Structure 1
Amino acid sequence: MPIDAVIPMSIANLKRRLEEKVRGHSVVDVTNAKFVKPQRLLKTLSVLDQKFDDLENSLPLDEKIFRTISKLESSGFGHLTRRDWKNLAWALSKILPGAQEKLIFSDIGKRIIQHFQQSEMDLIGLVYFPLLYSYFALENEDVKNKPAIWLQLRDVLNTNRSGVYRDLKRPKKWMNTLVDYSEILSNSPTKSFVKRFLEGKDASSVANELESLKMAPNSWFWDDLIKSSIQSINGMNEQDYLKIIPRFLHLAEQNLLFTTDILIALLERYAKTSERQKVHEELKYIALNQWDNPQYDSSAGWNNVNADTKKMVIQWFVRADLEAFFKLFSASADVNRFNYWIKFIDKISFSQIFLGPAAFQSQQFQHKKFRDLNRGRLKKLVGSTPTNNAFMLKIENLYVIDFSDTGNACFIVNKIPYNENKFEVHRDTLKPWNNLLKLSHTPGWQSRFDSKMAELGVFSNQTEVNNYNSGYRKY
C-alpha cells in the first residue's frame, strides 16, 4: 500500500481508537466530567494531520506538470494516473512553454474543465484542492472581465463542495474554511471580509484566516478585497467613515495601484459630510501629490472627481493659505482681514502665496512644514522688506492682491500681473499701475471694500466671520 494512503489511515485509526478507549472507561454522559482529554496527544495528531495535508497539497514541479500536459495531448484522458489528474488541475494557472496565456484560457484548459464538470465524485475529490488553488492563483487581469471558463471552474468547485466535504475520511482545514465562508465561491467572494480587513492595519488578519487555501499574494482575491473595501466607503455612515480615513490612507501607501480609486472614494464621501469645510490635511496633501494643484486647469487628475468635490478641496487650499498668511507667517496677524476675505471662500477659485526672505529662510518647525507640504505652490517675494509677504486671490473674475506689512494698499486687478512661470516676483509687479482698485486699510475699510467689490459685481453670500480659529500657533 502506498505511503500516502497508509499515513492518513493510521492517523484516523489512532484518533478513532483513542476516542473508543475513553468511551470504554466512562459513562457517556459523564465522560467529560470524569476524564481529562489527552490534549498533548490530540495536538500532536493535529500537527501530523497538517503536515500530511501540506505534503498532499504541495505544488508539483513545473516539469512534472508539463509532462502530464504532453501526455494528455498524445494519449487523451484515458491513460492518466491519479497523479496525472492532479497535475492537470494544478496546471490550469500555469503558462506552458511557448504559450502566451495561462492554460485555463487555452483549448486544452477548456477541455480539462469540461471533463471535470462531467466527472464522478471520486475524481473530483482527488483534484478538488489543486482546482481550488488554480482558481485563486489567477491574477486580477486574468479575471477582471469574468471570463466564462473561470466561472465554469468556480461552478465545478461550488457544485461539488458539499459532496467532497461529505466524503472526506478526516476533516481538512481548507475544507472547513470553505464551509465557514461559503460566499468565497460566489459573486461576492470578499463581502464578509471587508469589515475585518478595514479594522486591521493590513491584510494579515484575513490572510491568516484563509491561510489554508494557499492563495497567491497576487491573487485576484486580494484585489477584489481592496475594491470591495473601497466601494464600501460610499455606504458608510459619517462617523464610521471619518474614523476609517487613516486606514484607507495607509492602504493607499501600501497599494499604489489603488491610490487613485481610494482617493476618489475618500474625497467624494468627504464632500458629503457635515465636515466638508474642515480641512483634512493628510487627504489634502496626498491629493496634491497625486493630482497636483486643483486650482490649475492643467491638473487633469481632478477630472476624476465631481466639480463640487474639486471645489471643496480648492477651498481647503484657500483657507490654509489665508491662515498661513495671516497667522503662521505674520508676527501681528490682522484677524479682521482674514475674516473679511474668508467670507468670499465659496467664490475663490485660486490662491497664491508670496513669501518674503524671512519666511522662506525660517527654520521654525511649522514654517518648514508648510513650505515642504506646499512645495511647488509657493513663490518668493523680492524687492521688499524681509518680513513682507503677499497673497493673491481669484474671486470670480477679479484678482485681489494684499500684503502683510502695514502701509501697503490692497490692489484689485482683472488679470494676473506677474509671469506665472517665474519663481521670484518683485513687489512692484504686484502693485500694477493699471489696477481696477487700490484700497487702503484705514478705519472703516470693510464697508468701503464691500461697496467697491459690489460695484465690480462681487457679493459675499456669507456674513463676516467673527471667531477666528486656526490650527497654527502664533510665533
Structure 2
Amino acid sequence: MTIERLQHRLEHSLSQLFPKETTYSKFAQPVRLTKTLQLLERKFDDLENAIPIDVKIFKTISKLEYSGFEQFTRRDWKNLAWALSKMLPDTQEKLIFNDIGKRIVQHFNQAEESIINLVYYPLLYSYFALAKEDVVEKPTVWLTLRDILNRHKLNVYKSTQRPKQWMTTLIDHADILSDTPTKAFVKQFLQDNETGGIQNELETLRIAPNSWFWDDLIKSSIQSIRHMNEKDYFKFIARFITLSAQNSLYSRDILAALLERYAKTSERDKVHETLKQMALDQWGNPQYDSSAGWNNVNPDTKRMVVQWFVKADLEAFFKLFSRTADVNRFNYWIKFIDKINFSQIFLGPSALNSQQAQHKKFREMNRGRLKELIGSTQTNNAFLLKIDNVYVVDFADTGNACYAYNKLPYNDKKERIFIGDLKNKDTVLFRNGWGEPTALSHSGDWESRFDEKLAEIGLFSRKPSNNNDSSKYKRSH
C-alpha cells in the first residue's frame, strides 16, 4: 500500500468520526507527524522517479529494436522515457535525435493518457537534461517532446489525488513549457546573488546543471538589459558584472548589452570605471581600429567609451600626475571631447616611477596604453589628442608650447618617445603672421589665440571654454 493511499484511508476514517469543520478544532495539529509524512513522501517520490542505471536503459532499447513496443512492462515504458537524453554506446548523439529516439517520441505523442501519466516525469527530466548545444537550433523532435509535456501536464496534475510538488511547480509556472521558459524567472534571477534561489525553487524538476534551461535564463536576462528602465538598469549593473566574472562564456554579450544600454542613459557622459576596465580587458583600446571586439557595439556606443578614456586620460594628466600643470589647459581641451577619437599619454620619470597608490593604480589599469617620455625634465609629461583628423600635442610643465600635426609625429610601435619627436616645427600645422611653421605658447590670453589658430586649421569646439566664453572662433556643427 502506498503512502498516498494510506493517508487517504486515514483522512477518510477521521471524517467519519468527526465533522470536517470541527476536526482541527478538537485535535492539535500533528506537526511532527506531518513533517515526517512529508519526508516519507519525498523519499518515496525519489525512489519512484530514480534514474535507472544505463545497463537497464540500454537493455530496454535493445528490446524495442527486437520486438517493437509489444509486451512492454511499466518499467520498460519508463526506461524509454529516461533514455531520450542518453547517448547510446558507439554513437555520437543523444538518443532523442536519432531514428530510434524520434520513433519513441512519436509513439508517446500518440499514446494513451495512462502511458503518459506513467512516463511523464522521466520525459520531463529528459526534456531538461539536454544541453544548450543540443537544442540551439530548436530541433523538431525536441519541440514535439515539449508539446507532449505541455499538452498533458494538467491531466497529470488532476489525475493524482495528492499532486507532487513538481506537478504544482509546472502548473504555477505555466511558461516553463513555452517558447519563453525563463521569462518569469529573470527578475528573480537578477535579484539573487547567484542561481541558488531559482535552483531551490525548481529543485523538484531536477534540472541538470548543464541544462539548456540555465543558458536560456542567462541569455533572457542579458536581453532584458536593453528594455530595462534606467532605474532598474543601474540597480542591476553590479549583478551583471558579477555574472560576467562567473560565466566567461557570456562575458562578451553581457558587456555589449551593458554598454549599449549605458549609452542611452542620462549618465552616458559620466565614466563608469568598472565597465571601462571590463571593455579594455576584453576588447582592447577602442581608440585603435585594430581592436575588433568593438564591432560588438554600435559606433555611437564605441564613441561614448572612447570619450571615457579621453576624459580619464586628461584628468589623470592634469589632476593626478602633473602637479605643475596648468589646470586651465584641462578646461580648454575638455571642451573638444565630443570630437576627440584618440588620446595618448607620455609619462616622464617622476610619474612613471611614482609609488603613490593612485599613480600605481592608474598605470596598472592602463597597462599597454602608456608611453614613456624621454629627453625632458623629471616632472614633464605630455599628451596627444586626435581632434577630428588633427593630432594636437601639449605638455604639463609650463614653458612648453602646443603643437599640431596632420599625422602621428612619432613611431607608435615604440614605447619610449623622445620629446623632440613631439616638438617638430618642420611638420607643425600652425603658422605665424609670416606663414612660417610655429608652435603655440600659453602666454597671455592664450585661450582666444588657440581658438583662432585651431579655427584656421578647421577645428572648432561645440562647448564654450570656461575662461573664454565670448570667443568669436567658437561655432556649432
On whether the aligned pair clears a TM of 0.5, the verdict is yes
Question: What is residue 91 of structure 2 aligned with on the other side?
Answer: 99
**Distance apart, 1:242 and its partner CA:** 1.2
Instruction: Return the TM-score normalized by structure 2.
Output: 0.93
**Distance apart, 1:21 and its partner CA:** 5.5
Question: What is residue 3 of structure 1 aligned with on the other side?
Answer: none
What is the DSSP-based 3-state SS (H/G/I as helix, E as strand, rest coil) of the residue aligned with 2:271?
A: coil
Q: Distance in 1 between matches of 2:87 and 2:18?
A: 58
Question: What is residue 319 of structure 1 aligned with on the other side?
Answer: 311
Same amino acid, percent of matched pairs = 65
Q: Which runs of 5+ in 1 are unaligned?
A: 1-5, 467-475
**Distance apart, 1:439 and its partner CA:** 0.7
Report which stretch shifted further, 290-299 or 403-412. Answer: 403-412
| Contact 1:343-1:460 at 8 Å conserved across structures | yes
Question: What is residue 7 of structure 2 aligned with on the other side?
Answer: 15
Q: Distance in 1 between matches of 2:359 and 2:23?
A: 73
Match of 1:114 among 106, 119, 124: 106
| Contact 1:132-1:157 at 8 Å conserved across structures | yes
Question: What is residue 441 of structure 1 aligned with on the other side?
Answer: 442
Q: What letter matches 1:456 in structure 2?
A: I
Match of 2:36 among 44, 55, 59: 44
| Contact 2:186-2:217 at 8 Å conserved across structures | yes
Q: What letter matches 1:458 in structure 2?
A: L
Q: What letter matches 1:455 in structure 2?
A: E
Matched, 1:176 2:168: yes
What is the DSSP-based 3-state SS (H/G/I as helix, E as strand, rest coil) of the residue aligned with 1:77?
A: coil
Q: Distance in 1 between matches of 2:324 and 2:192?
A: 45
Q: What letter matches 1:205 in structure 2?
A: G
Match of 1:162 among 154, 165, 171: 154
- Deviations 1:259-295 (Å, cap 9, x if unpaired)? 1111111111111111000001101110111111000
Report which stretch shifted further, 30-39 or 284-293. Answer: 30-39
1:68–1:28 CA distance, 2 compared to 1 (3 A):
closer
| Contact 2:393-2:422 at 8 Å conserved across structures | yes
| Contact 1:388-1:404 at 8 Å conserved across structures | yes
Matched, 1:58 2:50: yes
Question: What is residue 261 of structure 2 aligned with on the other side?
Answer: 269
Q: Which runs of 5+ in 2 are unaligned?
A: 431-438, 468-477
Q: Distance in 2 between matches of 1:268 and 1:359?
A: 34
1:22–1:465 CA distance, 2 compared to 1 (3 A):
farther
Q: Distance in 2 between matches of 1:372 and 1:338?
A: 23
Q: Distance in 2 between matches of 1:195 and 1:436?
A: 56
Residue correspondence of structure 1 range 23-422 to structure 2 within 5 A: 23=15, 26-422=18-414
What is the DSSP-based 3-state SS (H/G/I as helix, E as strand, rest coil) of the residue aligned with 1:331?
A: coil
Question: What is residue 473 of structure 1 aligned with on the other side?
Answer: none
Matched, 1:464 2:465: yes
| Contact 2:49-2:122 at 8 Å conserved across structures | yes
- Deviations 1:422-447 (Å, cap 9, x if unpaired)? 11111111111321231111120000
- Deviations 1:88-147 (Å, cap 9, x if unpaired)? 111111111111211111110010001001111111111111100110011111111111
1:169–1:21 CA distance, 2 compared to 1 (3 A):
closer
**Distance apart, 1:34 and its partner CA:** 3.6
Q: Distance in 2 between matches of 1:100 and 1:76?
A: 23
Residue-pair matches, total: 458
| Contact 2:409-2:422 at 8 Å conserved across structures | yes
| Contact 1:381-1:389 at 8 Å conserved across structures | yes
- Deviations 1:284-333 (Å, cap 9, x if unpaired)? 11011111100001011111111111100000000000000000112244
| Contact 2:324-2:398 at 8 Å conserved across structures | no
Q: What letter matches 2:464 in structure 1?
A: T
| Contact 2:325-2:398 at 8 Å conserved across structures | no
**Distance apart, 1:37 and its partner CA:** 0.8
Q: Distance in 1 between matches of 2:348 and 2:262?
A: 35
Q: Distance in 2 between matches of 1:424 and 1:453?
A: 28
**Distance apart, 1:33 and its partner CA:** 3.5
Instruction: Return the TM-score normalized by structure 1.
Output: 0.94
Q: Distance in 2 between matches of 1:245 and 1:465?
A: 34
Q: What letter matches 2:329 in structure 1?
A: R
Q: Distance in 1 between matches of 2:196 and 2:364?
A: 33
What is the DSSP-based 3-state SS (H/G/I as helix, E as strand, rest coil) of the residue aligned with 2:394?
A: strand
Q: What letter matches 2:403 in structure 1?
A: F
Q: What letter matches 1:429 in structure 2?
A: D
Q: Distance in 2 between matches of 1:381 and 1:360?
A: 9
| Contact 1:398-1:413 at 8 Å conserved across structures | yes
1:161–1:465 CA distance, 2 compared to 1 (3 A):
farther
- Deviations 1:330-377 (Å, cap 9, x if unpaired)? 224422111100000111000001111111211211111111111111
Q: What letter matches 2:388 in structure 1?
A: E
Q: Distance in 2 between matches of 1:465 and 1:218?
A: 57
Question: What is residue 471 of structure 1 aligned with on the other side?
Answer: none
Q: What letter matches 1:436 in structure 2?
A: L
**Distance apart, 1:35 and its partner CA:** 2.7
- Deviations 1:144-194 (Å, cap 9, x if unpaired)? 111111010001101111111112243211111111111100111011100
Question: What is residue 436 of structure 2 aligned with on the other side?
Answer: none
| Contact 1:401-1:430 at 8 Å conserved across structures | yes
Q: Distance in 2 between matches of 1:411 and 1:310?
A: 27
1:333–1:33 CA distance, 2 compared to 1 (3 A):
farther
Report which stretch shifted further, 58-67 or 270-279. Answer: 58-67
Report which stretch shifted further, 342-351 or 57-66. Answer: 57-66
Q: Distance in 2 between matches of 1:39 and 1:129?
A: 30
**Distance apart, 1:18 and its partner CA:** 4.2
**Distance apart, 1:455 and its partner CA:** 0.3
**Distance apart, 1:13 and its partner CA:** 3.8
What is the DSSP-based 3-state SS (H/G/I as helix, E as strand, rest coil) of the residue aligned with 1:402?
A: strand
Question: What is residue 435 of structure 2 aligned with on the other side?
Answer: none
Which runs of at least 4 in structure 1 moved beyond 6 Å after TM superposition?
none
CA-based RMSD of the aligned residues comes to 1.4
What is the DSSP-based 3-state SS (H/G/I as helix, E as strand, rest coil) of the residue aligned with 1:197?
A: helix
Q: Distance in 2 between matches of 1:189 and 1:465?
A: 55
| Contact 1:342-1:465 at 8 Å conserved across structures | no
RCO higher in structure (CA 8 A, sep ≥6): 1
**Distance apart, 1:24 and its partner CA:** 5.4
